[in-house]
Amino acid sequence: MAHYIGTPTSRVDGFAKVTGAAKYAAEFNVPGLVYGSVVTSTIAKGRIARIDLSAALRVEGVLDVLTHENRPTMADNDQAYKDDVAPAGSPFRPLYDGRIMFSGQPIALVVAQTSEIARFAASLVRVDYETDTHITDVHCQREAAIPLKPPGDPIEAMFTPPKTRGRPEQALAAAAVRHAGEYYVPIEHHNPMELFASTVIYDGDGKLTVYDKTQGVQNVQHYLCRVFGMKPEDVRVMSPFVGGAFGSGLRPQFQVVLAVLAARALRRSVRVVLTRPQMYVLGYRPAMIQLIELGANADGTLDAIMHDAITVTSRYEDFFRQETGWSGLLYKCANAGYKHKLARLDLATPCDMRAPSATTALFALESAMDELAVALNLDPLELRLRCYSERDQHNDLPFSSKALRECYRQGATAFGWDKRNPEARSMRDAGDLVGWGMATGVWEALQMPITVRIALSANGHAEVACATSDIGTGSYTIMAQVAADMLGLPLENISINLGDSSLPQSPVEGGSWIAASVSNGIATTADAIRDELLRLAKQMPGSPLANIASGEVTLADGKLISKGDASRSVSITDAMRHAAVDRIEQEKTYNPSNDVTRAHNTHSAIFAEVKVDEQIGVIRVTRVVSAIAAGRILNTKTASSQILGGVVWGIGMALHEETLIDHKVGRIMNANIAEYHVPVNADIHDIKVIFVDEPDDSNPLGIKGLGEIGIVGVAAAIANAVYHATGKRVRDLPITLDKLRL
Amino acid sequence: MTEVENPGSGRDAEKLPRAVQTTVRERVGAQSPMTTPEAVSVRLTVNGTRHSLLLDPRTTLLDLLREHLDLTGTKKGCDQGQCGACTMLIDGRRVNSCLTFAVMYDGARITTIEGLAADGALHPLQQAFIDHDAFQCGYCTPGQICSAVGLIAERRATSADDIRELMSGNICRCGAYTNIVAAIQQVMGRS
């Protein structure tokens, strides 16, 4: 019964968020709390020769200064520091030794009675370094970039380029029309609004409650247990609200290590809040140099795709994703080849950032497709339709569902694409050049095993518990909607518990997999609740459900109702009261079926309008239509917001976002939210989101997930619109005024 | 109006564990300690409650609320005046409280997100933000709402473009801008 699923339900945590009642990691205040301020390295590579704490320690109110020289014991093996989503390599260990591996590396924690004192004292820590030569510029490492190693495990195998298909070199050489282009996406940073923070509450018996900014409370808990040799029952990690993360909170970050270190050293509660500049070493979208080569037949069908990529990683871990494979997946093409190399730099390890790899790869591929359309003298949308693939090109499998054609149709109609003059620089609005561009987006529809506990009370209230997160994605709300429908209760009778490591198992919140996983987890557990209620109802004298099988009843309107005969029903309250039961509790694990016979993806079509001031080159994105095919949409209101957010990120990627490094000193120059430009309100104009109908049976509820698909392809659609407006093709992001040179 | 007597300058009442005192003293050696600045007395009215405080003069208005008065609704997103998450209303004007020392506003009347709802009824902007889904993670939301209250009081915005421009000091990384504009328009249309 779907009263709530599919409706535009307002967020159930909305009241808490608009009144300031929602508490984030740095907002749990306890008596005796003390404050840590982090000192960071000013060199990019080398070692600490001498660290002088005397001035800092003289400051009244300073309790201690922790460094690699005086810190309490921490684990001494890589395995302990490898969190659930760590890439291959040797993870960074905060305050472990005197080695410096990146500028901005934490090297000391000043703990004091107030944050003002801690911050002042941190400025007094004096450090002498022995400096080594560093390299932070990916362009200097092009020649030294190393090919990916053969995958060491199934996760790495997922990210290794697919096998070559056909004979791409020969097909390219023989193609009627060819296009080759090099595309560049710089390092970008997540910049969630909430500062990374941890508040560690030290209980008298040494147990810790850790309020942490994270996308995975259990990942952090497991990590802390290994690093500090603690038992799981001694560490509880909580994150009831997370002020955005976008991938930056997937791995445990160093502030939680420092806060726990200090709490254990001082035996008291400690809060560590990073500054905005300090957050720039927590991970980033790796810069990517890509060469795309396309070979097409004269009729606009593709015959060859080659995608070579160089991506950035650190010296100590090999971070990479499936950067090149998207090119071979999206379009029908008999011949495809891929190369992926890593450029090791003296920077912190990159990490996942909204639609990792697809966002960067599709900027290149979809820009290249636009260039091919120009070369073929074809409408860019028509080219996509001629290359449309009904099957997964890597493994020649059908899709579980693929309504991309409908995205193209509905998106183009809503945008008015048929009124586009194909000529570049042909459309104007007063003094502005007008450009229309489009692109395709693709992401994976993933699911993970997850466990959900539901406790139903005789008064018809239910508590749903799972250790997942809500990083702004709307988990609280969709979980309540699904539970209300599955249990046949009003939405207000459902309470959701999440963001607590003591709750039933959940994977980290990433990859767009939580909505499908947790919703089906709720449905699975709700079925167990229903079965238990039926067992109780059957015990009632003269029960109207006496001879009915569990699959033949449903929960609706607070009752167990026969599917075949709605007049046969027992209310939840009656069934439980009669059995003298106040509470029914069930905990079940949802194990998604491993369906390898079909490909599972979400798709999108993005249409963008830009207006470019011909005199000074200012670009405004005046209209975007994003048509999404992502299975069943649980909540059209919050889902729409997810896509709007993705489009805003795509606008930022296209026009604003770039992390700039002073390569001479190896330090990020714009490590703040004013000089690292993110879109502000004045940058954002009309955005229309369309969800096309896409029934899918990959899981019982038909859900695919939405967190990533909204951003994929947006930057290319805008870059293509800029070309259409100006006749200038900009292949390195962001498209700033200087690159247009009108 | 309630009056709260001096909550003091924070968490200085705690005595240090003996082990820690020893460690620090040993490392400092014979040098004299560097004292913290003399506490300054500040009187503020926050959401109708009067506070008399003795503060480290380096305390920002934002940290005063979050760390001393346990009013954590106002958010810290950058501490550099760049993001607007800390926006609150001082004598009715919207201000970035992270760039504001508390001592600069002795005697001022401050309204934070916690003070907008009257007797449990949401402020129209709070309701409009929920109705239009004008947030996702919620972290910039208190600043956005306080900023919008200030914006409407300024009477400078007459169009959606004006709202976009005059709300551009409040960054929303989740990208809820179109919904924020719609929420503000809904309330402006009413007032």
Element (H, E) at A344: strand A335-344
Residue B118 has pLDDT above 90, yes or no: no
Is the separation of the CB atoms in A684 and B175 below 8 Å?
A: yes
CB of B124 within 8 Å of a chain A CB? The answer is no
Enter the ipTM. 0.97
Q: Do B109 and B43 fall into the same domain?
A: yes
Question: Tell me: the pLDDT tens digits for A91-103?
Answer: 999 999 999 999 9
Interface of A with B in 31-50 (CB under 8 A): 31-34
The last residue of one of the domains, among B92, B115, B138, is: B115
Distance CA A42, CA A241 (A): 33
Predicted pLDDT at B189? 87
CATH of the domain at B148: 1.10.150.120
Domain extent for B145: 124-190
- The Cβ of residue A158 has, within 10 Å, a number of other Cβ atoms equal to 12
Q: A377: which residues sit within 8 A by CB, 6+ positions away?
A: A422
B75 to A679: CB separation less than 8 angstroms, yes or no: no
Range list of H helices, B74-131: 124-131
B75 Cα to chain A: minimum distance (Å): 8
Distance CA A457, CA A281 (A): 47
A553 Cα to chain B: minimum distance (Å): 35
Distance CA A223, CA A83 (A): 6
Task: Give the mean pLDDT of B111-115.
Answer: 98
Residue B2 has pLDDT above 70, yes or no: no
Interchain CB contacts (distance < 8 Å): A and B: 235
Predicted pLDDT at B14? 39
Q: Which stretches of chain A drop beneath a pLDDT of 70? A: 1, 742
Give the 3-state secondary structure of residue A44: coil
Burial level of A307, CB count in 10 A (0-12/13-18/19+)? Answer: buried
Contacts of B83 in chain A (CB under 8 A): 193, 276, 673
Q: Do B35 and B61 fall into the same domain?
A: yes
Measured CA to CA in angstroms, residue A338 lies from A58, A102, A306 at distances of 59, 30, 6
pLDDT averaged over every residue in chain A? 97
Is A509 assigned a catalytic role? no
Predicted pLDDT at B119? 83
Element (H, E) at A110: strand A106-112
* Strand intervals (E) in A576-683: 583-590, 601-613, 619-629, 661-662, 667-668
Q: Do B84 and B128 fall into the same domain?
A: no
Q: Do B87 and B135 fall into the same domain?
A: no
Question: Tell me: the pLDDT tens digits for A581-596?
Answer: 999 999 999 999 989 9
B180 to A267: CB separation less than 8 angstroms, yes or no: no
CB of A53 within 8 Å of a chain B CB? The answer is yes
Distance CA A600, CA A250 (A): 23
Q: Do B107 and B154 fall into the same domain?
A: no
Interface of A with B in 224-263 (CB under 8 A): 241-244, 246
C-alpha gyration radius of chain B: 20
Closest among A485, A484, A445, A709 to A593, alpha carbons compared = A445
- The Cβ of residue A59 has, within 10 Å, a number of other Cβ atoms equal to 22
Is the separation of the CB atoms in A672 and A276 below 8 Å?
A: yes
A125 Cα to chain B: minimum distance (Å): 13
The chain A residue lying nearest B78, using CA atoms, is: A276
Q: Do B69 and B22 fall into the same domain?
A: yes
Predicted pLDDT at B26? 56
Model confidence at B36, pLDDT cuts 50, 70, 90, reads: confident
Q: Do B102 and B24 fall into the same domain?
A: yes
Contacts of A261 in chain B (CB under 8 A): none
CATH of the domain at B90: 3.10.20.30
CB of B35 within 8 Å of a chain A CB? The answer is yes
B175 Cα to chain A: minimum distance (Å): 4
Q: Do B20 and B97 fall into the same domain?
A: yes
Q: Do B101 and B13 fall into the same domain?
A: yes
Closest among A236, A235, A253 to A92, alpha carbons compared = A253
Residue B86 has pLDDT above 70, yes or no: yes
Distance CA A251, CA A91 (A): 11
Q: Do B174 and B105 fall into the same domain?
A: no
Contacts of A644 in chain B (CB under 8 A): 175-176, 178-179
Distance CA A724, CA A414 (A): 19
Q: Do B129 and B107 fall into the same domain?
A: no
Distance CA A367, CA A465 (A): 44
For residue A579, is it left (φ>0), alpha (ψ between -120 and 50) or beta?
Answer: alpha
Give the 3-state secondary structure of residue B21: helix
Is the separation of the CB atoms in A690 and A628 below 8 Å?
A: yes
A59 to B67: CB separation less than 8 angstroms, yes or no: no
| 3-state per-residue secondary structure call for A238-303 | ECCCCCCCCCCCCCCCHHHHHHHHHHHHHCCCEEEECCCHHHHHCCCECCEEEEEEEEECCCCCEE
A113 to B10: CB separation less than 8 angstroms, yes or no: yes
CB of B173 within 8 Å of a chain A CB? The answer is yes
Distance CA A35, CA A110 (A): 8
> Which strands sit side by side in the sheet containing A619-629, from one edge to the other?
A427-429, A432-444, A601-613, A619-629, A686-691
Predicted pLDDT at B21? 42
Name the token pair of A224: 């802390």
Model confidence at B27, pLDDT cuts 50, 70, 90, reads: low
Give me the DSSP letters along A531-586.
HHHHHHHHTSTT-TTTT--GGGEEEETTEEEESS-TT-EEEHHHHHHHTT-SEEEE
Q: Which range is least confidently modeled, A280-289, B4-13, B146-155? A: B4-13
Number of domains in chain B: 2
CB of B153 within 8 Å of a chain A CB? The answer is no
Q: Do B101 and B175 fall into the same domain?
A: no
Domains (range + CATH), chain A: 25-133+192-275 (3.90.1170.50), 146-188+285-446+597-740 (3.30.365.10), 448-590 (3.30.365.10)
The last residue of one of the domains, among B78, B94, B115, is: B115
A482 Cα to chain B: minimum distance (Å): 19
pLDDT averaged over every residue in chain B? 87
B136 to A244: CB separation less than 8 angstroms, yes or no: yes
The minimal CB distance from B24 to the residues A22, A32, A63 is found for A63
